[in-house]
Structure formats: C-alpha cells, structure tokens
Structure 1
Amino acid sequence: MIKTIIFDFGNVFINLDIEGHIQNALKSYGIESFSEEMTAFNCFYEQGLISTDEFLEFYAENFPKLSKNELIDIWNFMLKDFPKYRLDFLEKLKSDSKYELILLSNTNELHINWIKKHVPFYETFKSLFHAFYLSHEIQLRKPNQDIFEFVLSTHKIRANECLFIDDSADNINTAKSLGINVWNIMPKTDDITDLFLIKKDLFL
C-alpha cells in the first residue's frame, strides 16, 4: 500500500522546455556543445555547492559579451508555465489526507527565484507538501542514491510503501534500485492528474 508520494517539480507540475533551452544556450554562447567544466559547474550550482554569484561569474568570464541579465535569461529559458489545474489536483490530494506528500527536486536558486516571481500560487503550492526539498538547499542531487536515502530515513519511509514520480530515467532507475515504486512520467503524453488512472494498481 502506498503511504508516501514523492514528486519531482519540473515536467511534473511546471512545464519545461529542456531541448529548447539547450539549443538557445548553445546559440547564445556561440558554441557547439557544453564543455565538461560547464556541465560540472551546472551540477555544482544545482547542488548548492557554489553560490549564484560564483555561478554567474564563471559564465561571465567564459562569455564576456553577455551581460549578467542575459546570462540569467539564458539559464531560465527552460522554465515555462505551471497549469493551475495541476495545483487543483494537488489540493484535492492533500485534502483527502491519505498520503504523505513530498517534493524532491533538482532546483537551483535562480530557477526557484524565477518561479516565485512568475507563479502567483507558488506559496500555496509549497504549503501543500509535508516536506519540500530543493537540491541546492539540502546539497544533495538526483540521481545520486544519497538523496533518496536521506528522504527515506528522515521520514521513516519504507521503500515499498512509497511512489516516486519523475521525468528523468536516471532518477527513476536509482529510486527503483532502492525498492521504491516509480512512475517515469512522459511530459508529452502523461499528466500528473492522471496518476490514479495510470498507476491505479498501486492504489487498490
């Protein structure tokens, strides 16, 4: 029986354009691919191991023709809309009081600041979770195993009584290896509001 549902944020509640972001970044930077150093800095930033100022300074040094605001816009390009009906779904789920609801997201400071500014019901959304974990705040990052172990141990959750929902196959595979039930949501075809239809066998 499922007692806890752990949700990713991007492409579960807020829509992302990851491919568009990649193409826009490459074009804006005038490069053909991301260097290993850029990828590493992105991961460090997402995990809260470097500050926003350090992150932007790194990109400013590598792409001096771009202003700070332009660099921020490039970084935030992937963030799109948060359909209100998904909030309504979560509110209904919370009101039913059947499940512990946890958000577990690889989210950095610049992204969450954009969301706070552009999603008017962000605080309401956040309040619906029993716990709200952002990677840069807890300095743990998916798909590393330790972030899942942190949630399981902190909330005294049995893996087989938990469902983890994420759009990343890598994140899903780590959770699955720990015995957690999973739903690898496909943003182009699935929607979180179809949870009890698609994963009905887990909730019988």
Structure 2
Amino acid sequence: MIKNIIFDFGDIFINLDKQGTYKAMATLGVTEITEEMMSIYHQYEKGLMTTDEFIHFFYNKFQIPKEKLVAAWNAVLLDFPQRRLDFLKKLASSKKYRLFLLSNTNDLHIKSVQNSLGDEFYNEFKNSFEKFYLSHEIHFRKPDKEIYEFVLAENNLVPKETLFVDDLKENTDSAAILGINTWNLIPKKEDITQLFSKTNTI
C-alpha cells in the first residue's frame, strides 16, 4: 500500500525545453559540452559552488556576460500548467499520502521559477509538500542512490510504501534498486494528473 509519493519537478509539474540551454549557449559560441563543463554543472546543481563561481567559470572560459549566461541557462524553463497545481492541491488536501518534492534544481533555476510564477502560485505549490528537497540545498543529486537514502531516512519512509515519479529513466531505475515503487512519466505522452490511472501501485 502506497503511503508516500515523491515527485520530481521538471517535466512533471513545470514543462521543460531540455535542449533550450544547449541551443541558447550555441548562439553564444558554446557548441560543445565538455566533461569539465558537465563537472561544473553537477557541482553547481549539488550546491558545491556558488552562483557567482558558476557564472565566473563561463565568463573566464568563454567571455559570456552574466546577463546572457543567465538567460541561456534559464532557457530550459517553460510554463507550469494550472491544472497540475490544482491536481496537486487536491491530492494534498485529501491527506491520503505524505507528499515530497525531490528535484535536481540549482539556485539560478529556482529563482527564475519563483520570479516567473509569482509568490502566490509558487507558495501554493511548495506548501503542498511535507518536504521540498532541491539538490543544491541538500548537496545530493539524482540518480545517485544517496539522495534517495537521505529522503527515506530523514522521513522514516518504507521503500515499498513509497512511489517515486520522475521523467528520467535513470532516476527511476536508481530508486527502484532500493525497493521504491516508480513511475517513469513520459513527457508530452503522459501527465501527472493521470497519476491514478497510469500507476497500478496506488
């Protein structure tokens, strides 16, 4: 019996253009994503470097001004449909499940989301969860197993009583190894509002 639901954020609630940042960076002359750049990105996403340090890296390497880098970096973020917030609020108000957010989200992205959604919408979203875990605040990132172990342990969650919803298969596969039930939601084909019709564990 499922008692707990852990949700991802991107392409679960907020729509993403996963190629948006790559396309925007290409217009700034960055056409190859190197291992060094991915390492910097992962460090930033885990909160192991500050936003200023992150921006400084790209300025030193490519002479990209801060404003253009931030705009390119946030190009991945699209809209957050109202129907998904309504669904989440209804689910939260039912009090049938303990709800958690677990997202690989960095400081620049979450600030952009807050600005674009506005305080009322964002706070209604955030307050629907018992805990709101962002990778840059807890210093773990998916699909590393440590992030799931951290959430399970901190909240005394039993894996077989827990459902994890994420759009990336590598993330749901990693969680499943620990015994967590999963739904690998496919964006544009499935929607989080279909939670009860698409999962047979809940």
What interval of TM-score do these two structures reach, taking the shorter chain for normalisation?
Answer: over 0.9
The answer to whether structure 1 residue 39 and structure 2 residue 38 are counterparts is: yes
1:114-129 aligned at under 5 Å gives the runs 114-120=112-118, 121-129=121-129
State the one-letter code of the partner of 1:56: I
Q: State the 1:30 CA deviation.
A: 1.9
TM-score by length of 1: 0.96
Deviation sequence 1:47-88 (CA, Å, 0-9, x none) = 000000000000011111x31100000100000000011000
Structure 1 runs not aligned, ≥5 long: none
What is the aligned-residue RMSD (CA, Å)? 0.9
State the one-letter code of the partner of 1:163: L
SS in 2 for 1:188: coil
Residue 99 of structure 1: aligned partner: 97
Q: State the 1:33 CA deviation.
A: 1.8
Residue 69 of structure 2: aligned partner: 71
The answer to whether structure 1 residue 51 and structure 2 residue 66 are counterparts is: no
Identical-residue share of aligned pairs (%): 49
Residue 137 of structure 2: aligned partner: 137
In the alignment, the residues of structure 2 paired with residue 28 and residue 136 of structure 1 have an alpha-carbon distance, to the nearest angstrom, of 27
Q: State the 1:151 CA deviation.
A: 0.6
In the alignment, the residues of structure 2 paired with residue 21 and residue 15 of structure 1 have an alpha-carbon distance, to the nearest angstrom, of 14
In the alignment, the residues of structure 2 paired with residue 14 and residue 20 of structure 1 have an alpha-carbon distance, to the nearest angstrom, of 14
Q: State the 1:169 CA deviation.
A: 1.1
**Residues paired across the two proteins, number:** 200
Moved more, 107-116 or 29-38: 29-38
State the one-letter code of the partner of 1:111: H
Q: Is the 8 A contact 1:28 1:74 kept in 2?
A: no
In the alignment, the residues of structure 2 paired with residue 76 and residue 180 of structure 1 have an alpha-carbon distance, to the nearest angstrom, of 31
TM-score by length of 2: 0.97
Q: State the 1:91 CA deviation.
A: 0.5
Residue 88 of structure 2: aligned partner: 90
Q: State the 1:32 CA deviation.
A: 3.2
